[in-house]
Amino acid sequence: MKKVLARIKGAQLRSKQRDTAMPPPQPEEPFLAIGDLHGRADLLLELDKMIEENFRGWPVVFLGDYVDRGEESRAVLEMLMPLSSKGSPSVTCLMGNHERMLLDFIENPLQSARRWIQNGGLQTLASFGLSIRLDRLKDEAAMRTTRNQLADAMGTEMIDWLHTRPLSWQSGNIWAVHAGAKPSEPMEVQSSRYLLWGHPRFEHENRQDGKWIVHGHTIVEVPYARKGRIAVDTGAYATGVLTAAAITPGEVSFLQTGAG
């Protein structure tokens, strides 16, 4: 098997977990968790080839943020929509905060336009052949027109698919979420706000229940697995480096595009 595990700054990112404060990750079966895509359909295709060559048959969970910032949001959604969590292997696509912002714009265009546009919505609109005037973000008629144009371009099937994205996925003692979680609360009762936007103590306070959290949302230069957190968002839309964590019992390694 050709080895394509990532090398960053000359160091291979593959190691047994030695964090004695946490039990080792113990998924029910090996799986891959893929970080934020943000409109990089090209990187998704590149990573898919690497997975086919080296991890064929492994379940995959995408950690959200498929749209905005990159130029090919529409293409990414069209590539992901046919995939199924009930297939073999299963593919699960979680919701990210950028999907939530897109849906907020569709549901409440005037109230939600500015936040979405300031966070990469322009690129998503462009991928559907649309544009928006920045000096009219407070114009209710203009925002409603843009919203209707976007809804027509996306179609009900795509909008419904986004609405039904789960917020979390579990395998053994590992939970996959988009952004993070409140360390002191059981994963089963986490607020959607924490799962989509993170929690201020997530990166600084360790969980006490032995659960590992694999997540995107927060860009890191080098992906890592330590103290119960597995971070895989390497800013693909800007860096060209899309990261997947390959998680097996007791071990986490990283697969990347544009690295090594």
> Is the same domain home to 173 and 66?
yes
Q: What is the CATH number of the domain that holds 225?
A: 3.60.21.10
> Is the same domain home to 139 and 228?
no
> Is the same domain home to 69 and 32?
yes
> Is the same domain home to 183 and 201?
yes
Block residue for tokens 């696509």: 93
Contact criterion met (CB below 8 Å) for 61 and 32: yes
Would 2 be classed as within a structural domain? Answer: no
Q: Is the pTM higher than 0.75?
A: yes
Q: What is the mean pLDDT of the chain?
A: 92
Identify the domain boundary among 119, 139, 162.
162
Q: Is the pLDDT of residue 20 over 80?
A: no
Q: Is the pLDDT of residue 260 over 60?
A: no
> Is the same domain home to 89 and 178?
yes
Q: What is the pLDDT of residue 10?
A: 28
> Is the same domain home to 128 and 55?
no
DSSP count for the chain of H helices, then E strands: 8, 13
Domain tally for the chain? 2
Would 1 be classed as within a structural domain? Answer: no
Would 198 be classed as within a structural domain? Answer: yes
> Is the same domain home to 148 and 188?
no
* Structural domain of 151: 100-162
What is the residue-wise DSSP string for 68-111? SSSS-HHHHHHHHTT--TTSSS-EEE---HHHHHHHHHHHSHHH
Reference 181, options 219, 225, 17, 189; nearest CA is 189
> Is the same domain home to 13 and 43?
yes
70-99: pLDDT as tens digits: 999 999 999 999 998 888 899 999 999 999
> Is the same domain home to 187 and 143?
no
Identify the domain boundary among 119, 147, 162.
162
Would 149 be classed as within a structural domain? Answer: yes
Is it true that the peptide bond before 27 is cis, omega within 30 degrees of 0?
Answer: no
